[in-house]
Amino acid sequence: MSEARDNFERHLAQTSEFPIGLEIDHAQGSWLYAADGRRYLDLIAGIGVSAIGHGHPAVIAAIERQVRRHLHVMVYGEFVIETQAKMAARVAGLLPASLDRVYLTNSGAEAIEGALKTARKHTGRSALVAFEGAYHGDTMGALALAGNESFRAPFGPLPGPVRHAVYGDTRALGMIDEQIAAVVIEPVQAEGGVRIPNPEFMVALRRHCYETGAILILDEVLTGFGRTGRLFAFEHFGIVPDMVVLAKALGGGMPLGAFCANGKLMGTLSRNPPLGHITTFGGHPVSCAAGLAALDFIVSQRLWERAETVGAGLRRRVEGFIGPDVRAVRGIGLLIGIEFSEAAKAHRFVAETISRGVVVNWTLNADSVVRIAPPLTISEDELDFAVEAMEKALATLR
């Protein structure tokens, strides 16, 4: 047993009783290289983080330049830090004009927490609406929004009140009323099993929030920056939220999140009291430098267009898996869900696929669904390798 594995098993707090346990030595492009010499095609991109692959030279160079300048110098928002200011301007420039103020955080869950605080303070209301099957992170406020009761129950009572609506059902929108501070929704549910609502539902949701004064918060932590075939997933539906939450691909592999809104809405955090929402490490200069380089590459290469075309081709191939063990295949851009007939088969498929050198995983709130979300830069040859490995894994289930 290696020293790293021994430390992992003896001292690192575990998130499950049976972790995957791959010991990663290094990573490059779409590949993870294990300590035992094997390599694995990363078909989940570090759960959406490594959208332009691992070790991109522009990101590495940007990190090196910033490290030579300075690391942490002051809590976020107090000093003028060039990379923070550039990152805020870059993100605002990519979003609609009504989302021109950016609050930088360390993660998506922290950004959700900040968005909830902002909505409550701005509206003077307390109640929230979330959706069945939702996942917004594991901090207390984010967990209260979770659409899986089995994850919420052990940690209650949680912040609230939170009303959970049926995802994609316009009839459920009646629970949005004048008591609701915010409605929080993923434009595509990833952990919910890659569920894609129809445009009519999203348009109706936008209208209900306007009519009741509820703040519409879109969680684009996983779907943002090209994953779904648009730069932001809300573009598929022709709507603009009051707030959008970003993370994962935002940092180019470094920890970085953000929540964004207009100046009036975000201004509520800076007064009565001032410093009502602060973060020490949010918008860390090195993370912002990495994120800027990653965003420049995504935009210059228009990777959302590649995600749309490559994703459509991959989805057609994966649809060939439908049969006795696979009920359905859903996808949008390079985010694809394979729904198995039962959770045990999905879990076995994951293990068999990993054993053949391709990393996939099931989804938290739909454990019979396996997710595919590779780097947006993945090559056709790499996809051929992935599909062949998955076909062989599927054959073991029969």
Q: Are 333 and 226 in contact (CB under 8 A)?
A: yes
Question: In this structure, are residues 314 and 67 in contact, taking their beta carbons and an 8 Å threshold?
Answer: no
For residue 398, pLDDT beyond 90: no
Q: Is the pLDDT of residue 1 over 90?
A: no
Tens digits of per-residue pLDDT, 358-367? 999 999 999 9
Question: pLDDT-derived band of residue 310, with 50, 70 and 90 as boundaries?
Answer: very high
For residue 46, give every residue at least 6 positions away whose Cβ sits within 8 Å of its Cβ, in sequence order, or none. Answer: 54, 253
Residues of the chain with CATH 3.90.1150.10: 3-55+302-395
Cα 75 from Cα 194, distance rounded (Å): 37
- The single-letter code of the amino acid at 41 is L
Of 215, 267, 272, which is closest to residue 244 (Cα–Cα)?
215
DSSP H helices, the chain, are 3-11, 45-48, 57-69, 82-94, 108-123, 140-145, 149-152, 199-212, 263-266, 285-300, 303-318, 343-355, 380-395
pLDDT at 110: 98
pLDDT at residue 77 greater than cutoff 90: no
The C-alpha atoms of residue 359 and residue 372 are separated, in whole angstroms, by 9
Nearest to 221 by CA among 245, 185, 253, 195: 245
Burial (CB count <10 Å: 0-12, 13-18, 19+), residue 189: buried
Quick one: pLDDT band at residue 19, thresholds 50, 70, 90? confident
What Cα–Cα distance (Å) separates residue 240 from each residue in 18, 103, 206, 269? 41, 18, 8, 22
- Assess whether pLDDT exceeds 90 at residue 121: yes
Q: Across residues 316-322, what is the average pLDDT?
A: 97
Higher pLDDT, 250 or 5: 250
Architecture of domain 58-300: 3-Layer(aba) Sandwich (3.40)
pLDDT of 71 > 90? The answer is yes
Q: Report pLDDT digits (tens) over 324-356.
A: 999 999 999 999 999 999 999 999 999 999 999
Q: What is the mean pLDDT of residues 30-43?
A: 97
The pTM assigned to this predicted structure is 0.96
Q: What is the mean pLDDT of the chain?
A: 96
Mean pLDDT across 263-271:
94
Going 319 to 351 to 41 to 187, the CA torsion angle's sign is: positive
**What percentage of residues in the chain have a pLDDT greater than 70?**
100
CA–CA separation, 120 and 180 (whole Å)? 9
Write the CA distances from 49 to 12, 122, 155, 385, 386, integer angstroms.
Answer: 22, 31, 27, 22, 19
Start-end ranges of CATH 3.40.640.10 in the chain?
58-300
Mean pLDDT on 148-169: 94
CATH number for 3-55+302-395: choose from 2.40.50.140, 3.40.50.2000, 3.30.70.20, 3.90.1150.10: 3.90.1150.10
Residues 6+ apart with CB under 8 A from 202: 187, 234, 237, 239
pLDDT of residue 18: 82
- In this predicted structure, what is the pLDDT of residue 70? 98
Q: Stretch 109-131: mean pLDDT, rounded?
A: 98
